[in-house]
Structure 1
Amino acid sequence: MTEQPAPPENATSAEGEPGAAPRRSGLRNPQAAVRGLGAGTLALEAIVLLLAIQPIRIMGGHLSGWGIGAVIALAVLAGALAGMMKRRWAWPAGTVLQVLLIACGLLHWSLAVLGLIFGAAWAYAAYVRRTILG
């Protein structure tokens, strides 16, 4: 067995601390990159939710006033969370948002479909976050 050589004494990590572990990714600021991915996912979700109201009303015809209010509330919540991705609780809150959107499938089936699509996108963003940040 061959031993791996130890890093030189003057080796520094991404944070500039001698002897600390090097960065896991090649990104200069991995936290900002992951926040951007989460914020972009939530912003896209907010836009799609707002744009989906009219086609659901025209084609499905069964989206009530409560359903429209719920979609608008979820879109506003997604937009607000997109702006708060620096907060520690924003990622779990984004997961709750996806569950709420799937639950809105009780109001109209297409909302459950959107919830599954964006739930998968959010799960992928969480996977990337876990991979990059460790």
Structure 2
Amino acid sequence: MTAERETVEPDEDARPSGLRNPVRAVRGLGAGTLVIEMLVLLLAIQPIRLVGGDLNGTAIGVIVALAVFAVVLSGLLARSWAWHAATALQGLLLLSSFLHWSLGVLGVIFALVWVYVLHVRRTILG
């Protein structure tokens, strides 16, 4: 039995990434990152309080607001302005280090992750 092999001509419009829908894949990466950020922020409240953090109601409110902002932006990444707003979210999280130092650590970590997400977006979508 001989198997016939088709020669596939490279499509000129094909993306070099090999993804079927690169825009959707990048949007999913960004949304997943923001959802994970939301979960980490919400789950960080209690450990910060127990380990000696003086989180008052204002600080907890800021954390919850940032988490809500992250999850809302994760659903809006189809719009180009939402990517800029998500970058601003990382800056706001860095500024929250004035409330507690551990929020600054989370801000640095998620800012670095977001820089990587933007790098992947630029690499895949051009």
Task: Give the TM-score of the pair, scaled to structure 2.
Answer: 0.89
Q: Does 1:129 align with 2:121?
A: yes
Residues 104 and 112, structure 1, Cα contact 8 Å, conserved in 2: yes
Q: Does 1:105 align with 2:97?
A: yes
- Quote the residue 2:15 is aligned against: 23
Q: Mapping of 1:77-96 within 5 angstroms?
A: 77-96=69-88
Count, aligned residues: 118
Shift of 1:11: 7.2
Distance in 2 (CA, whole Å) between partners of 1:11 and 1:61 is: 58
- Quote the residue 1:114 is aligned against: 106
Q: Does 1:46 align with 2:38?
A: yes
The structure with more helix, counted as a fraction of residues: 2
Residues 53 and 100, structure 2, Cα contact 8 Å, conserved in 1: no
Residues 25 and 132, structure 1, Cα contact 8 Å, conserved in 2: yes
- Percent identity between the two aligned chains: 59
**AA in 1 matched with 2:38:** A
Shift of 1:36: 0.3
Shift of 1:92: 0.6
Task: Give the TM-score of the pair, scaled to structure 1.
Answer: 0.84
Residues 24 and 133, structure 1, Cα contact 8 Å, conserved in 2: no
Shift of 1:90: 1.1
CA root-mean-square deviation: 1.4
**AA in 2 matched with 1:67:** A
Distance in 2 (CA, whole Å) between partners of 1:34 and 1:117 is: 20
Distance in 2 (CA, whole Å) between partners of 1:28 and 1:61 is: 47
Distance in 2 (CA, whole Å) between partners of 1:61 and 1:132 is: 41
